[in-house]
Amino acid sequence: MPTIVIADDSFLMRKNLRTIFSQAGYEVVAEAGNGKAAVKAYKDFRPDIMTMDITMPTMSGIDAVKEITSEFPEAKIIMITALDQKHMVFQAISNGAKHYIMKPFNVGQVLSVVKSVLEGDETKKTSQEPYSVRKENDLYIVTVKGSLEEKNLTLLQGTVQGLLLTEYCQIRFDLSGNPFVEIVAVKLEEMLKKIKGSEGHYAIRR
């Protein structure tokens, strides 16, 4: 039976997650109400999965992830976040978190993400081919498959800059099926703002 630690400063959120996990056959071995307690709980129980709220007292979820993954790089941590915290989620994933769940969430979404992380980190699965490009007439379709680590983002920026040298170039970024769709969309928008003359040449399809 997979074990889980729940870290969230909201008692109601911890209760809801505990109910979801318990009914699905997981064992919740501990709960934590702040970042420092979350770090201690992980070290004490070494769970198969840990859910981590982004904003918590004493120590933020991001700092807790940094501390845990510095000692346990294979820790499987899933961030719990609100829509307006997407940039913070990217920071957490950059520091070792494996996935995220966006509030408000449903039971199916929670269990699907947990199953995905237990079976293997999606980023590692796609790290050899973070994106691909194909051409359909005058349209270049860039399919992004993972969370776009910084080195891959730099590589993609160079690819896009090269494509924009093509006359009448139009680019569509295809994020369908990407488990990190919200984070990747933000990263793409930020990247494209840095590329001179990219305005009007692209569309992002989620």
Q: Spell out the domains of the chain, with CATH numbers in brackets.
A: 3-120 (3.40.50.2300), 131-205 (3.30.750.24)
Gap between the Cα atoms of 114 and 110, Å rounded:
6
106-144 pLDDT, tens digit each: 899 899 889 988 987 444 443 446 788 888 877 889 999
Task: Give the Cα-Cα-Cα angle 120, 122, 128 (nearest 5 degrees).
Answer: 110
pLDDT at 129: 62
Whether the predicted pLDDT of 11 surpasses 80: yes
Which position has the higher pLDDT, 181 or 50?
Answer: 50
Rounded (10°) angle between helices 61-71 and 35-45: 30
| pTM across the whole model | 0.68
Q: What is the pLDDT of residue 166?
A: 64
Burial of 68 (0-12, 13-18, 19+ CB in 10 A): buried
How far is residue 112's CA from residue 166's CA, in Å, rounded to a whole number?
41
Which amino acid, one-letter code, is at 30? A
For residue 136, the model assigns a pLDDT of: 82
**Tens digits of residue pLDDT in 182-203:** 889 999 999 999 898 888 889 9
Query: Percent of the chain, pLDDT > 70?
Result: 93
